[in-house]
């Protein structure tokens, strides 16, 4: 019963990823191509659906907690969706080997990111009165649970943020990932958002970004429902239940475990780019 195995694999990836606040998207494509022998384009389509499902399924608490900066999200979504549409135009012209290679690079970058903890680089300097962020009323505040008070923050360097988001949208459409790996640093270092706001807003945007490319692949008939359905369901259930079940696992050891897994997958995807298969079936 392959559908059940797909469900279980996606559930496991999502549950484990969720313990470290990671999106499972980055594991889905390697899992499907390396272990299930699924064509990379079908894997990308299925992964996009699971990315949308996880983004939509986890958005509500962040919105109700007023952590998501909705105005900033919709503004940046103009860039991420444009990037996604550019990806849709490009994917037919890109070789499978290149996609595997690019995926290997993204996995390696994720492993590197996992090693270094995110630094809070909030810039408290008053924003330029003439800046985009001021004109578009992007500065906001969130309620800090620890202190119970309201923390105001400023948004910086919006044009740079938009540029980086275009790239994130492009990578998302090409590889079927949420590109959180690119979005979060863009939001931390370019826009200088508090980490909680950055995570919530990035997660919120991922759904629309992935829907822009997934919609195009869906109407083109490039999404294999028998793969995408079970994978999306497994991911969303894993994200909701997994984080609760696995909450007691030691975060430091998990972090090392993930770095190893990400590195191994990067090597394996790179080998695939050169046509060398070690794992999985050659179906």
Partner 1 sequence: MRGMKPELDDASRRDRIIAALLRRGTWCASFLIAAGMLWSMAWPSVAVRAGLDGYGLMRGGVALFILLPVARVAVMLAVFVRERDRAYTLISALVLAVIATGLAIGLLL
Q: Which residues in this chain contact partner 1 in the complex, by CB under 8 A? A: 1, 3-4, 7, 49, 52-53, 55-57, 59-61, 63-64, 66, 68, 70-71, 74-75, 77-78, 81-82, 84-85, 88-89, 136, 207-208, 210-220, 223, 225-226, 228-230, 232-233, 236-237
Find the shortest distance in angstroms from Cβ 231 to partner 1.
10
The CB density around residue 49, as the number of other CB atoms within 10 Å, is 26
Find the shortest distance in angstroms from Cβ 108 to partner 1.
29
Q: Which of 147, 127, 145, 144 is nearest to 136 (CA)?
A: 127
Find the shortest distance in angstroms from Cβ 186 to partner 1.
18
Give CA–CA dist 216/204, Å, rounded: 20
Give Rg (Cα) of the chain: 19
Task: Specify the residue, 82 or 122, whose C-beta has the smaller distance to partner 1.
Answer: 82
Task: Specify the residue, 129 or 276, whose C-beta has the smaller distance to partner 1.
Answer: 129
Q: Two tokens at 267?
A: 């090597």
Q: Which of 115, 246, 140, 256 is nearest to 198 (CA)?
A: 140
Task: Specify the residue, 21 or 61, whose C-beta has the smaller distance to partner 1.
Answer: 61
Q: Two tokens at 39?
A: 């064509």
Find the shortest distance in angstroms from Cβ 8 to partner 1.
12
Q: How far is CA 137 from CA 111, 154, 155, 187, in A?
A: 36, 10, 9, 17
Task: Specify the residue, 218 or 257, whose C-beta has the smaller distance to partner 1.
Answer: 218
Task: Specify the residue, 19 or 68, whose C-beta has the smaller distance to partner 1.
Answer: 68
Q: How far is CA 64 from CA 103, 175, 195, 198, in A?
A: 34, 31, 17, 15
Find the shortest distance in angstroms from Cβ 136 to partner 1.
6
Q: Which of 158, 132, 157 is nearest to 76 (CA)?
A: 158
Task: Specify the residue, 70 or 115, whose C-beta has the smaller distance to partner 1.
Answer: 70
Find the shortest distance in angstroms from Cβ 214 to partner 1.
5
């Amino acid at each position: 019963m392959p559908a059940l195995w797909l469900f279980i694999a996606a559930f496991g990836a999502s549950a484990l990823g969720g313990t470290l606040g990671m999106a499972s998207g980055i594991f889905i494509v390697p899992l499907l191509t390396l272990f299930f022998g699924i064509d990379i384009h079908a894997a990308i389509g299925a992964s996009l659906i699971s990315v949308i499902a996880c983004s939509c399924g986890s958005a509500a608490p962040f919105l109700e907690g007023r952590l998501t900066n909705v105005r900033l999200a919709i503004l940046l979504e103009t860039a991420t969706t444009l990037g996604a549409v550019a990806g849709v135009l490009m994917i037919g012209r890109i070789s499978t080997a290149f996609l595997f290679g690019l995926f290997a690079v993204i996995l390696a970058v994720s492993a590197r990111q996992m090693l270094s903890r995110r630094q809070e680089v909030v810039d408290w300097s008053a924003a330029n009165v003439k800046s985009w962020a001021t004109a578009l009323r992007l500065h906001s505040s969130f309620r800090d649970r620890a202190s119970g008070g309201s923390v105001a923050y400023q948004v910086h360097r919006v044009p740079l943020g938009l540029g980086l988001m275009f790239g994130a949208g492009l990578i998302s459409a090409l590889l079927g990932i949420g590109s959180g790996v690119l979005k979060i640093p863009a939001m931390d270092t370019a826009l200088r958002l508090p980490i909680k706001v950055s995570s919530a807003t990035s997660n919120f945007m991922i759904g629309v970004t992935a829907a822009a490319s997934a919609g195009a692949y869906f109407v083109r008939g490039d999404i294999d429902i028998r793969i995408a359905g079970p994978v999306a369901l497994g991911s969303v259930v894993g994200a909701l239940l997994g984080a609760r079940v696995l909450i007691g696992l030691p975060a430091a050891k998990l972090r090392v475990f993930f770095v190893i897994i990400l590195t191994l997958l990067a090597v394996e995807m790179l080998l695939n780019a050169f046509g060398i298969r070690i794992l999985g079936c050659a179906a």
